[in-house]
Each structure stands twice: as C-alpha cells, then as structure tokens.
Amino acid sequence: MNCIVLGVTGGIAAYKAVDLARQLVLRGFEVKTIMTEHATRLIGPATFRAITGNPVARSMFADEGEPMQHISLAREADLIIVAPATANIIAKMANGLADDLLSTMLLATRAPIMVAPAMNLEMWRHAATRANLEVLRTRGVRIVGPESGFLACGEEGEGRMTEPDLILEAALDILGITASMEGRTVLVTAGGTREPIDPVRYIGNRSSGKMGYALAAAARRMGARVILVSGPTYLQAPQGVEVIAVETAEEMWREVMAREEDCDVVIMAAAVADFSPQARKSEKIKKDGREGLTLECRPTRDILRDLGQKNRPERVLVGFAAETGKPVENAVHKLHAKGADMIVANDVSTLGSGFDSDFNKATMVYGDGRVIDLDLMPKIELAARIWDAVIALLEAGETR
Ligand code: CTP
C-alpha cells in the first residue's frame, strides 16, 4: 500500500492536518504521522493516532515507537507531506538541519516531499523565507500554497494553509494517481473461499487475498466507490472501502449478485472453490474405524460466468486465471467460456510470483484478441496497471 508520512509542525493550521490525514486514510493510504514538539502543543497526538490507526512518532529517542524511526519512516514513505509547514521547518530543510525527528527524517529520505506552508504574512514575505523556499524548489520539493485570506494572527493576506482537499489532489498528482475513477462503483472479490466439510475442517486454497486487496486500495485512491467481497484473509482492509466478508463460494455468489447491478466494473480476483462438499457434516468426522475418507463434492456456481452471461456493454468484467502451465492459452479459453472482457493470467509456478507473494508476473488477455505481457512487479503496481486497462475499456464501452 502507498505509505504517506505526514509531518505536522507547530502552526495553528495543525488542526487542518487532521482533516488531511482523514482524507488520505479514506483514499486507502497508510498514513504515519510525525509531530514536532510545538505541534503537540496545538493539537493532541491521540487525534492523529485515532484517525490513522498508527502510532504518532515524536522523538528521536523511541519513547513510544521503534528505534531509528527517522530511517524506517524515511524508507517506508512513498511521499512525505509537511502540513502545515512553518517558516522554521522550511528553514531547517533548506539548510539541512537535523535537530528533531521530522527534520532528520526529511534529510534521510529519498521519497518525494511536498510542503504546505502556513504562517504569518510578514514571515511569509521575509527574504529568508523566500530564499529558503527557492532552495527547496530547486531541489524538487513541491510547494503547495499558501492561500490568501484571514490569518490566525488577525492579519489578512498570504499565509493560510491550502485546504486539505487541494493538498490531497497535489499528493495524488505526485504519486501519478489520477482521480479517473471518481463517480464509478467497482466490486472486487479477493481471497480464497472455504467450503466446510464438518464443524472443524474445510476445503480451502492458497490465495492470500493480496492481489484483490491491492486492486481495492488502488481503485479507492483513484476515487472510486469500492466494494470488496472477501474470503477470509489475514490482511487489513483498505480504509474507505466497503468490505463484505464471506466464507463459502455460495456466500460469495450471493453477495456479488446482490450488488453487481450498481457496478461499473467487477473484478473477480478471488480464488473461488470449484467444488464444495455435498453436505456439511454437523458432527466432527472421527478417524477411528475408518480406512480412508472419500468426500462427495458438487460443483459450485461460477460467479464470473454468471456475470458474463448478463454483462452489459458499458460494464467491464475482469477475471483472473492462476495457472501452472500455458497461462495464455487457458486464459483465452476462460475469457470466451465465461464472457469476460479481460482475463489477467499468471503462472503461479513462476518463482517469486503468485500466491502469498507481494509480486506478480501477469499477462492481460483481452476479448478483442490483444495479449499484453507484463514484467514481474509488486502487486500494488500491477493493480494500477489493471485499473488503467479497465478505464480504457470503460471509456471504449461508453463511446460504443
Ligand atoms: N471463478 C468464479 N466462480 C467460480 C470459480 C471461478 O467466479 N466458482 C472465477 C475466478 O474468480 C477467476 C476466474 O473465474 O476470476 C477463473 O478462475 P479459475 O479457478 O482459474 O478457473 P476455473 O473456471 O475454475 O477453471 P480451472 O480451475 O479448472 O482452471
């Protein structure tokens, strides 16, 4: 998941950083907050902790977090946003000072940095601040705002922190995420299903749910309303996503069918069981007195095929095919058999790819015959590539 480190410094606008944190979290970002000593005088760390679900880092001396947080956060961040950024932090950044956790982390990172200045009008106009900002600009730091208006000090003029929704927009821009799914509703299935044998056993599979969760988080970041129908996983659901927890293929079928009509896109990333025990035993099957065990199974309903049978031209239907040989051939067959617009095929026997891995090497097979081979890449990156392809299909469907 994309991780954003939010640096909050001691300006009155610190209260607006709470809303910024909330907006980032709702977009599916993992947000880690660093507060300066002065920021904590203006607003309580507990607020950021509650909103982001992560501890707030405040000191170099790991009083409440892990040691060497300046390094771990610097490495973890995909983007650092300093909001509000006081004249002081801007001066420290421009001069490479590292006298607290935030300034040290800013010196230790290679992640892109964005600052949203907020200060008194005279401080903003001061030659020192202008020069410091120029230094930051030439180093590639993105400066957002400030805006004009009434300032906390009673003056009127430039110095108000830019509103959180515009800071969010700039952040999406830096991360290369376009808000191109605003107004769309998408349904993603994830994880494997469990078909009960008796009260303690089930037939499951090795799906971790990582691909489906990455797809859900990516769609949320792009502004879509996201419904995630998930089999049991160990993953934390992305924020801002409606999660429907299911266990069996039958439950997944029911929950998907109840919602599919409202959706512009359905992606079946779940590993749905093809067979389910004929009847679930109400008592635990005992070992004694048995030579072996034969399970009578019946086929489950094929969700993708049922969706494909009533697909609409303006809706995009995507399936996955985890194969252990001839992935493209099998994907082409599945695409036609199930009526999907695209199948994302992957060879799960490829080393470092597929089940439970954070990486995947996939091929996108389209209904119009196109076959696009992708490199091995992190699942979060693959998710973005799949959405780009889906958006293109949606737009083509709308002009048809
Ligand atoms: N799928 C589904 N419902 C099922 C089984 C599969 O919707 N009961 C979907 C999966 O979510 C996936 C696609 O169909 O998007 C292909 O799943 P896969 O298991 O690879 O294909 P199967 O048709 O089950 O064929 P096989 O397992 O024999 O390869």
Full DSSP string of 37-56: HHHHHHS-HHHHHHHHSSPP
For residue 51, the model assigns a pLDDT of 96
Q: Whose CA is nearest to atom 4 of ligand 1?
A: 302
In percent, the amount of the chain with pLDDT more than 90 equals 76
For residue 238, the model assigns a pLDDT of 85
Across 59-74, average pLDDT: 78
**Sequence ranges of the chain with CATH classification 3.40.50.1950:** 3-175
Summarised one tens digit per residue, pLDDT across range 256-277 is 999 999 999 999 999 999 999 9
**Sequence ranges of the chain with CATH classification 3.40.50.10300:** 185-399
153 among known catalytic residues: yes
Closest ligand 1 atom to residue 305 Cα is 7
Instruction: Identify the weakest region by mean pLDDT among 127-131, 150-154, 161-165, 221-225.
Output: 150-154
Do residues 334 and 268 make contact, with C-beta atoms less than 8 angstroms apart? no
Candidate from 309, 320, 332 with most ligand 1 atoms within 8 A of CB, to mutate = 320
Q: Which residues line ligand 1 (CB under 6 A)?
A: 249, 268, 270, 272, 274, 300, 302-304, 319-322, 334
Summarised one tens digit per residue, pLDDT across range 68-107 is 788 889 999 999 999 999 999 999 999 999 999 999 999 9
Ligand 1 centroid distance, CA of 349 (Å): 17
For residue 157, the model assigns a pLDDT of 81
- In the structure encoding, which two tokens stand for residue 281, read together? 């035993």
Model pTM greater than 0.85? no
* Domain 185-399 CATH class label: alpha beta
Higher pLDDT, 267 or 397: 267
Burial class (CB within 10 angstroms; exposed 0-12, middle 13-18, buried 19+) of 217? buried
Mean pLDDT rounded to a whole number for the chain: 92
Closest ligand 1 atom to residue 299 Cα is 8
- What number of CA atoms fall less than 13 Å from residue 49's CA on the CB side? 11
CATH 3.40.50.1950 fits 3-175, yes or no: yes
pLDDT at 380 over 90: no
Task: Name residue 351's amino acid.
Answer: L
Give strand ranges (E) for the chain: 3-8, 30-35, 79-85, 113-117, 142-143, 147-150, 156-160, 185-190, 195-198, 201-203, 225-230, 242-245, 265-268, 275-277, 297-299, 316-323, 342-347, 359-366, 371-378
Ligand 1 centroid distance, CA of 301 (Å): 10
Closest ligand 1 atom to residue 306 Cα is 7
Higher pLDDT, 357 or 169: 169
Closest ligand 1 atom to residue 249 Cα is 8
In percent, the amount of the chain with pLDDT more than 70 equals 97
Q: With cut-offs at 50, 70 and 90, classify the pLDDT of residue 64.
A: low
Ligand 1 centroid distance, CA of 255 (Å): 17
Q: Whose CA is nearest to atom 27 of ligand 1?
A: 274
Burial class (CB within 10 angstroms; exposed 0-12, middle 13-18, buried 19+) of 222? buried
Do residues 31 and 54 make contact, with C-beta atoms less than 8 angstroms apart? yes
Residue in this structure with the two tokens 């300066």, named with its chain if needed: 36
**Annotated active-site residue in 3, 153, 263, 297:** 153
